[in-house]
Structure 1
Amino acid sequence: MTRMNGLLIGLAALLASGGVQAESLTLEEAVLRALESNAALRSERLEPEIAATFQEIERAVFDPEIFAELRVRRDREDRLDDRLGDRFAVETEREDVQAGIRQQFAPGTEVELGVTQDRRLSESDAPGAADSSALHRSRLNLTLNQPLLRGSGRAVNLVRIQQAELDTLRSEYELRGFTEALVADVETTYWDLVQAEREIELFEASLALAEEQIERTEERVRLGDLSETELAPLEAEAALRRQELIDARNRRDVARLELLQLTGTDYAPGEAPELTPETAPTLPEDAEPDPVATHLLLALEHRAELREARLLLQRNELELVRTRNGLLPRLDLFVTLGKSGYADSFGSAVEELDGRSYDAVVGLRVEQPLGRRAGQAEHRQAGLQREQALLGIDNLTRLVQVDVQSAWLEVARSQAQIEATAATRAAQEERLRAEEARFEVGQTTAFALSQAQRDLLQAQVDQQAAQIGYRQALVDLYRLDGSLLERRGIQARGY
């Protein structure tokens, strides 16, 4: 009966796997797959590219701009002849073509160079007037506008570009933090899968041992050496181990599905491939953590969240520069220089540009909103945001320090547990051997023997968990001090 139960369990496991051959996977391969194929990471990699486009948008403010305009106008009006007192009509047709180039520069200077060509044709029915007359004009003009207060200076006019650059760098830090979290999740899940596989091996071996013990006890009951009541605790222990085996297999399947998702593995619904972890939970040579002060210094320098917070502070300081300038009144100096040529044909008008006709305008333009409510509100908002950013950095620094110290303590605890669980396992093995010897000569009960087997199994599980827990604690510590990617030899943006 007990052997039949074991066969049924093995058959159920085979059906659950769908008969799919297991795929071997090392820890390094799992991390590499995640970096290449994880859908969320592939999406996150686009963020710095998207942010970089805003830099180009802001720089485009200083690009030269070509403009052109064509206008055609026709009107008719009545006029009065002062000498004769008669009314007469005048029809005017005007065509204007204007083109040029303008550009804004970082100090705030705006320069425009334009050329204008227009033709004016007039017809009048006044007595003695000519039927029609045409006048062509060609004009070149240069206009310069220089802000003297608001909008003046490179420090103010380049704020938007500098903020866009900081936003791009922030997105790279976000990508780095996301990548670190993904690598940590992959490694942690991988070790969960390893732990589940080891537990399954232990529970299967323990179940086989319990079933063998039941057979031996049944034989002794038939021979009259033991009472039939000795079978009950052994059968109860075997049933309990079957339950634990079912739970362990479920934990393995859940970890396998999570690892498949993290590594971006594609598969048909309901046909998830089996994974066999190949990396053993042995401790690497560099597994010993550094002093906690070293990890704290690393975290304060490299944690992606702290770098993002510092960039946000720089952005707010730039906003203060911009809004402080916005409180000033608008005072612009403008200069316009023009040269015109007049004639009765287009070609002649162009030739007349070197004549004596010119125009020149110099002036000042002043603008100031009454109350300056919007400017003052924006400046106060920028100041409050800067103060908020400073407080955020201080709070985040404290949280980072607590996180790193807690992770370091967890590494120390897990390291100590490795030796403690190894000693416990050795003691439980000696205890089980003693109980088996006593049971063979009838000096102990089946219940005491099953309890010794149970304690040894728990010690074996605890020893495996301690080794894997130490590896996971190290991963968490390296993630929290911002050094995980470098320790894994992974190059990422934002470093």
Structure 2
Amino acid sequence: MSRPRYQYILACALLIGSAPASAWLDAQTLAWPEQPLPGAPDHTPATRSAPVATNDDLAALGTRNRLELSVETAVGMALENNPSLAAQRLQPLIAGTFAAVERAVFDPSVFARIETSREVAERVSEDIQQNFAVRNDTERARAGIRQTLPTGTELELSLTQDLSESSRSPRQASTRVGLTLTQALLNGFGIASNLVALRQARADTLASAYELRAFVTALVADVEATYWDYLGARRRIDILENALNVAEQQSREARLRIEAGTVARVEQAAFAAEAARRRQDLIDGRAEADRLRIRLLQLISAPDGLRYERAVEPSTDVITDAAPLDAPSDYVALAERRRPELNQARLDIARNELDVVATRNGLLPRLDLFVTLGQTGFARHYGGAYENLDGGDTYDLSGALEFEYPLGNRAGHALDRRAKASLRQAWASLDNLQRVIEAEVRYALIEAERAAAQIEATAATVRLQHDTLAAEQARFDVGRSTGLLVAQAQRDLLAAELDRIDAFIAYRQALIDLHVADGSLLTRRLVDTPGELPPALPWRD
């Protein structure tokens, strides 16, 4: 070995040190595919941030006691202010800390130790056969850096300085620089087995993103459904108020005709009963609208002191025309890629595959290689000992193999069987979930088609009921009908008008359910949330 032997030790440490470990670990980052989904319907827009109403914008929405609200603004305010969402947004951040903890296992660490000791002992002189005291003073300082690599390698580079002085011998100092390498050859060997915990932690981070997306999807769907319910309740109130006015007007006209003697007195009861029924319906309708108003204000969580006292005026028009729907296979293909539950199930499979990798490695016996290389310099003091590192052939080199294997390895085999069974279970769960979600998509599509068809059907019913009421009223005017029949015709017209409003709202809500089922609701609403597409898992490529 040549003179600057310790320089070789340093060079070896640099060659297999932290740089390769960082490269191995950084290569495992998980990326989201940026390519558009194949087979997605053409009307699915690209994802970008949704317009969100800020607190300063609230003043422009209406007076302090009145809030004009469109469905888009309601969604934006909920995304900004909903406290449940604010709490859920922290979950990916919390999950990410576990990945950082697992990544830190492979970070290099610096260590140092300083110690001093004194020993006083008695020795027996062989020459004079007398006891005498011996004092030994020792000082030691040790510092270095150590690191664990994903390959199953442990490295330690250290610098040790010793100074000893005795009452029977002169002072002596030594400086040693050394490199220790420990390499697992069977159990614990390889990047695949040593990165299991880190990859699982990163998979959990991605799973939290899918959970967040599912939560946001449910929130947006809830806001929109409540908005349309509230708008429908307001429209029903208008219809009920108009029906009450008509019933009261007819009751007054019937009373005048009774007084004039043109109509029998018994006809008054039918019109009065119809007016009373309309008052009951109106009371229930107003209560339902108020309940939905409070629910909507709760979801959007407007940041002001009025909270539930604000009147809400829906400003979005009810769309009376149904847009054409795509083929069922298009929605099913979209759900296959974008449903957060499916992507979470795929991550569960990936985690179980990593468990199998770990348990398979655990079946191997433990066989470790130890290599230590060092060089020492000696002198009367520290500085001279350091300078003498290059002098002489004072070096040390040692190697060892250590073998260990539990007889039968019962625990290792049990863990391996559990991991493989869990993997099969995860695949079965994914297959079942795919079938359930496909059925949900098809159910939602059938309901959307039904609701779309009902829009036109209810329009025809309203027209016919108008004609029926007009004809019955004409017969009543000439004495060929009764107030009961006229009231029944009014009731049928009112039911038809309410059914038409319900058809509009049912269609909007059916579309919401369909877009929740195929996983595209947030994309269609231009809400930018992580977890839109299946994750890229580099270790599975």
**TM-score over 0.5 for the alignment?**
yes
Task: Give the drift of 1:20.
Answer: 7.1
Measured in 1, the distance between the counterparts of 2:226 and 2:282 equals: 20
Does 2:84 align with 1:40?
Answer: yes
Rg larger in structure? 1
Q: What residue is the counterpart of 1:415 in the other structure?
A: 452
Task: Give the drift of 1:424.
Answer: 1.3
Secondary structure of the corresponding residue to residue 309 of structure 2? coil
Does 2:365 align with 1:329?
Answer: yes
Q: What residue is the counterpart of 1:258 in the other structure?
A: 295
Give the alignment partner of residue 116 of structure 1, picking from 142, 148, 160.
Answer: 160
Does 2:512 align with 1:478?
Answer: no
Q: What residue is the counterpart of 2:66 in the other structure?
A: 22
Contact 1:267–1:273 (8 Å) recurs in 2: no
Contact 1:230–1:445 (8 Å) recurs in 2: yes
Measured in 2, the distance between the counterparts of 1:458 and 1:347 equals: 102
Q: What residue is the counterpart of 1:345 in the other structure?
A: 381
Q: What residue is the counterpart of 1:10 in the other structure?
A: none
Q: What residue is the counterpart of 1:66 in the other structure?
A: 110
Measured in 1, the distance between the counterparts of 2:490 and 2:332 equals: 44
Contact 2:109–2:146 (8 Å) recurs in 1: yes
Q: What residue is the counterpart of 1:430 in the other structure?
A: 467
Deviations along 1:296-326, one digit per CA (max 9) or x if unpaired, are: 1111121110011011101110111111111
Deviations along 1:183-211, one digit per CA (max 9) or x if unpaired, are: 11111111100110011000000001111
Measured in 2, the distance between the counterparts of 1:340 and 1:486 equals: 67
Does 2:343 align with 1:307?
Answer: yes
Secondary structure of the corresponding residue to residue 149 of structure 1? coil
Question: Which is bigger in relative contact order (C-alpha 8 A, separation at least 6)?
Answer: 2
What amino acid sits opposite 2:158 in the alignment? G
Give the alignment partner of residue 481 of structure 2, picking from 438, 441, 444.
Answer: 444
Does 363-372 or 23-32 show the bigger shift?
A: 363-372
Contact 1:332–1:364 (8 Å) recurs in 2: yes
Measured in 2, the distance between the counterparts of 1:89 and 1:246 equals: 107
Contact 1:283–1:471 (8 Å) recurs in 2: no
Q: What residue is the counterpart of 1:361 in the other structure?
A: 398
Does 2:275 align with 1:238?
Answer: yes
Deviations along 1:252-280, one digit per CA (max 9) or x if unpaired, are: 11111111122122344774211111112
Does 203-212 or 257-266 show the bigger shift?
A: 257-266
Deviations along 1:201-240, one digit per CA (max 9) or x if unpaired, are: 0000000111111111111122222232222121111111
Does 2:85 align with 1:85?
Answer: no
Task: Give the drift of 1:22.
Answer: 2.8
Task: Give the drift of 1:21.
Answer: 4.2
Task: Give the drift of 1:328.
Answer: 1.0
Q: Unpaired segments of 5 or more residues in structure 2?
A: 1-62, 533-541
Q: What residue is the counterpart of 1:94 in the other structure?
A: 138
Contact 2:294–2:308 (8 Å) recurs in 1: no
Residues 252 and 392 (structure 1 numbering): CA distance in 2 closer, same or farther, change over 3 Å?
Answer: same
Q: What residue is the counterpart of 1:152 in the other structure?
A: 189
Q: Post-superposition, which runs of at least 4 consecutive aligned residues in structure 1 deviate over 3 A?
A: 266-271
Does 250-259 or 363-372 show the bigger shift?
A: 363-372
Measured in 1, the distance between the counterparts of 2:303 and 2:387 equals: 75
What amino acid sits opposite 2:252 in the alignment? E
Task: Give the drift of 1:331.
Answer: 0.9
Measured in 2, the distance between the counterparts of 1:376 and 1:297 equals: 40
Task: Give the drift of 1:107.
Answer: 1.2
Aligned length: 469
Secondary structure of the corresponding residue to residue 450 of structure 1? helix
Deviations along 1:397-421, one digit per CA (max 9) or x if unpaired, are: 1110111111111112112212221
Q: What residue is the counterpart of 1:57 in the other structure?
A: 101
Secondary structure of the corresponding residue to residue 68 of structure 2? strand
Contact 2:377–2:388 (8 Å) recurs in 1: yes
Contact 2:375–2:389 (8 Å) recurs in 1: yes
Q: CA RMSD in A?
A: 1.8
